[in-house]
Structure 1
């Protein structure tokens, strides 16, 4: 067993990855040969990722608030605490908070052989973000 006391500060999500205020706490970054990372990502109301994809996919687990997610070409989906979303390998997608609620999720990623975790694409436009989500 190994206990690591958190010595990492919360970091502000970079503007070339996110729209709006996003804060990231590192949860896991295991040493090699492991390639798994996990982060708690806190989206303030209206904040969201840019379009992006993960070479080996991504799982997010919503811990609080209400969020939105969408895969390229699909409908916007509402996500709530306890929901788990799997984005397939190289599936272009985005996720974030609703306009009036914050959302926090645990993001779990695995790096590929080149250690790439994510490939960032273009920002989600206002028109894309404000499309009416699927009711669920």
Structure 2
């Protein structure tokens, strides 16, 4: 982990603790991510940190959705069939249930967001295919 570059990209440092390497979900990410669960009571909120170039696979939140609260760096969010959105600190992304999407860092910047899981009875996540290098490399 290049902490100096991370602090620069995240505006002086992480708002919340970066956490440990995200080994539990590593199979669903290209590149290195870090996870620090801030709470699991009531509403799960995790601080997810992406090294430059890191992104998660396409996935769907069934029944419940997800809210991303961007806290630092530069990243992207994309819904299936739509253009990618560039994300910066202060951006909020409301992801409805049943929407196929991915999110992650820009090639040249660390990125961090709080992932808020919208509670729903019987809610689950379905992890899908990787975001291809060809697709990802089209981003600026």
Same fold (TM over 0.5): yes
Q: Which segments of structure 1 move beyond 4 Å, counting only runs of 4 or more?
A: none
The answer as to 2:31 corresponding to 1:23 is no
Alignment TM-score, normalising by the size of structure 2: 0.79
Is the partner of 1:128 in helix, strand or coil? Answer: helix
The answer as to 2:92 corresponding to 1:84 is yes
Partner of 2:68: 60
Please give the residue correspondences for 1:1-136 in structure 2 after superposition, counting only pairs within 5 Å.
Answer: 10-13=20-23, 14-30=25-41, 34=42, 36-55=43-62, 56-116=64-124, 118-132=125-139
Larger radius of gyration between Structure 1 and Structure 2: 1
| CA distances 1:100-128 after superposition (whole Å, capped 9, x unpaired) | 00000000003432352x21111110111
Root-mean-square deviation (Å): 1.5
Structure 1: 5+ residue runs without aligned partners? 1-8
| CA distances 1:28-85 after superposition (whole Å, capped 9, x unpaired) | 101xxx3x21000000000001000112111001101000110000001100000001
Distance in structure 2 (CA, Å) of the matches to 1:132 and 1:95? 12
Q: 8 Å contact 1:76–1:131 — kept in the other structure?
A: no
Count the aligned residue pairs: 120
Alignment TM-score, normalising by the size of structure 1: 0.82
